[in-house]
Amino acid sequence: MPEGDSPTVARRRIRLALREARERADLTQLQVAEEMEWSLSKVIRIENGDVSISPNDLRPLLAYLGIKDKPLIASMVADARIARKRQRQAWYQATEFRENLTDATRKLIEYEIEAAEMRSYSVYFVPGPLQTPEYAAALMTRYEDELSDSQRERRIAARQLRRDALLGRAAAGEVRILVMLDESVLRRTIGGPAAFTEQLRELRRLAAEQIITIRMVPFTLDAAVTNNAMFDLLTLGEGEVLYRETGLGDELNEDRDTTGKHRARFDKIWDEAADEAATLAFIDDQIGTLEKLQ
């Protein structure tokens, strides 16, 4: 098994292997549930990573799925043991956050704690973990008709806790963060001139301290990364996870073809975008312009 295994990584590896094995065997989740005398929800929760599978449940399941390779079985059983190790309850599992964050968001946070690299792309706004509190609050006012005051407060608090964890790891050299923003993101004064100026200064600080690497996709570059307004692509010990957010909705996608296409497209446009020096010069110009308005 790879070094640095954690229950999160082990659980992800084993659930993906089980899902792929079931699909190769041309079996439905219902067929697996009936054969194993489990509830359908148990199979779904195992494949979604909501629960871990015990070694005792895993062995007969592997036999049913036709997996006979002894080294592979031993590796998967070892993963099952690691995945079931008890972890200290994380902040995002606390009741106040479970009730106000989507399942996709909570899994994203869990993966951010383990990611080795993160590629973030946005057309409309600064990515969540890089937002200042004032900028995040201004964004959340867009949903005052859909979300209660308590829900918005919890989501803002979650963004700041995500920020502390992710940027702390980046400062320690544990994760590499590549941020690619459309020029419109660096022009859109969300929260007003003062709040937006503070946000731009924060992006500049993070880049200057080499916590993030940032590039801008200028209006003059006739290219788009994807049809999606934003996404985060996280590289874990094995494989990648794609997170997409659209307004109040979000989703995680671990399909290799989908993540591979997003990675290739991101890297292609990254090479064509304005480099970091030009991007930071643009940010400095924006800060100077905004300061005159205050």
Residue 1's pLDDT is what? 40
Quick check: helix, strand or coil at residue 117? strand
Q: Whole-angstrom Cα distance, residue 92 to residue 176? A: 23
Which residues, other chains included, contact 10 with Cβ-Cβ below 8 Å and sequence gap of 6+?
A: 1, 79, 80, 82, 83
Nearest to 200 by CA among 275, 291, 277, 106: 291
Ramachandran assignment for 185, one of left (phi > 0), alpha (psi -120 to 50 degrees), beta (any other): alpha
> 234 has which bridge partners?
118, 241
What is the four-CA torsion angle of 126, 128, 134, 139, rounded to 10 degrees?
A: 80
pLDDT tens per residue, range 24-83: 999 999 999 999 999 999 999 899 888 889 999 999 999 999 999 999 999 999 888 888
Ordered per-residue pLDDT tens for the chain, 294 residues: 443 457 777 888 888 899 999 999 999 999 999 999 999 999 998 998 888 899 999 999 999 999 999 999 999 998 888 887 755 567 888 888 888 888 888 889 888 988 999 999 999 999 989 999 999 999 888 887 888 888 888 888 998 999 999 999 999 999 999 999 999 999 999 999 999 999 999 999 999 999 999 999 999 987 666 666 789 999 987 789 999 987 678 899 988 899 999 999 999 999 999 999 999 999 999 999 998 887
Between CA 251 and CA 255, with CA 252 as vertex, the angle to 5 degrees is: 130
Q: How confident is the model at residue 2, as a pLDDT? A: 41
Continuous segment of H or E residues that includes residue 235: strand 230-235
Q: Which domains does the chain have, with CATH numbers?
A: 7-83 (1.10.260.40), 91-292 (3.30.870)
Instruction: Identify the pLDDT of residue 110.
Output: 87
Specify whether the CB–CB gap between 126 and 185 falls below 8 A.
yes
